[in-house]
Structure 1
Amino acid sequence: MRFTPLVVAASLLAAGSAIAGPCDLEIESNDAMKFNKDSLAVPASCKKVTLKLVHTGKMPKVAMGHNWVLVKTADMQAVATDGIPAGADKGYLKPGDARVLAATKLIGGGESDTISFDTTKLKAGEAYSFFCSFPGHVGLMKGTFALTK
């Protein structure tokens, strides 16, 4: 078979979701309490970001659950601490906490969750962080998030 530009273009269109755009992110978590990335960035031109969290581990949510929570860096520790009493059913996040800018649900090994969030209220140059709110995980499972110009 000869690969003409038309055949290549058709193949790429058929792949569809295999090609992520600049506003689409994916991050993995595992049973060793680690994210596979310690920083994420999207162009400031992205008005909406889609993020997929994949738990590559095997342990259940009750033992090694993970989520992805976006906050201003200055709020991270307080959000993590204030969320513990909320419990696993609420993803260890205080209900209605305005400091939480985006969050996936809490997932266990072999699970994934995808969210989309509006970035129009975020500012390029401001310090944002992501973390896992499962009790005790914030110390190891955290990173930076940025809007780039």
Structure 2
Amino acid sequence: MLRRLFPLIVLCALWCASSAAFARNCAITVEATDMMTFNLKTLRVPGDCTQLRVTLKHVGRMPAQAMGHNWVLTETRHHRDVGLAGGRMKLADDYLPRNDARVIAHTPVIGGGQSTEVVFPTSRLRRGGAYTFFCSFPGHWNMMKGTLVFG
């Protein structure tokens, strides 16, 4: 019986190995400071990544209420409007409009010494698309930003 199942087992193993080779999970760590800066201005995500994990570390000391930061990703054309809309929201909303379809991914707002992360499928991105990541804390979005390049 094992002799009959062996070819099936080999086929299953090959299929699993090939699926894993095509499905790559990628990770990036971004640091935010009390000086309203990210340590990275450009994030490059390989086109074979099927999922992206972004870890945000607030390396400053100030609390979220005074100098909180989050990581928000939108298409570049939506960056300004989402940033302005976020300025009208509250900390409990992570300074983002709820269920805003323009937001591809975001982390919660964190304070100094904290870290957080977001994991999202790259199927929401297109190769060569224009993407901006930023902090939506009021007043931060226009200077605390960078570019995400996919592909």
Instruction: Give 1:58's aligned amino acid.
Output: R
Instruction: Give 2:150's aligned amino acid.
Output: L
Other-structure match for 1:140: 143
Residue 83 of structure 1 deviates from its aligned partner by 1.6
Q: Aligned partners of 1:52, 1:60: CA distance in 2, in Å?
A: 18
Is the Cα contact below 8 Å between 2:87 and 2:139 reproduced in 1?
A: no
Residue 129 of structure 1 deviates from its aligned partner by 0.6
**Could you tell me the TM-score, scaled by structure 2's length?**
0.82
Other-structure match for 1:45: 48
Aligned alpha-carbon RMSD (Å): 1.2
Deviation >6 Å, runs of 4+ = none
Q: Secondary structure at the match of 2:80?
A: helix
CA deviations on 1:90-129 (whole Å, 9 max, x unpaired) are: 1100001000000000000000001101111210101001
User: Are residues 1:93 and 2:96 paired?
Assistant: yes
Q: Aligned partners of 1:120, 1:98: CA distance in 2, in Å?
A: 15
Which among 120, 126, 130 is matched to residue 127 of structure 1?
Answer: 130
Is the Cα contact below 8 Å between 2:82 and 2:102 reproduced in 1?
A: yes
Structure 1: stretches of 5+ with no match in the other structure: 1-20
Aligned-residue sequence identity (percent) comes to: 45
Which range is displaced more, 55-64 or 114-123?
Answer: 114-123
Q: Secondary structure at the match of 2:83?
A: helix
**Could you tell me the TM-score, scaled by structure 1's length?**
0.83
Q: Secondary structure at the match of 2:150?
A: strand
Instruction: Give 1:126's aligned amino acid.
Output: G
For the pair shown, which has the larger CA radius of gyration, 1 or 2? 2
Is the Cα contact below 8 Å between 1:86 and 1:95 reproduced in 2?
A: no
Q: Secondary structure at the match of 1:51?
A: strand
Q: Secondary structure at the match of 1:50?
A: strand
Count of paired positions: 128
Give the number of the structure whose residues are more often helix, by fraction: 2
Is the Cα contact below 8 Å between 1:48 and 1:118 reproduced in 2?
A: yes
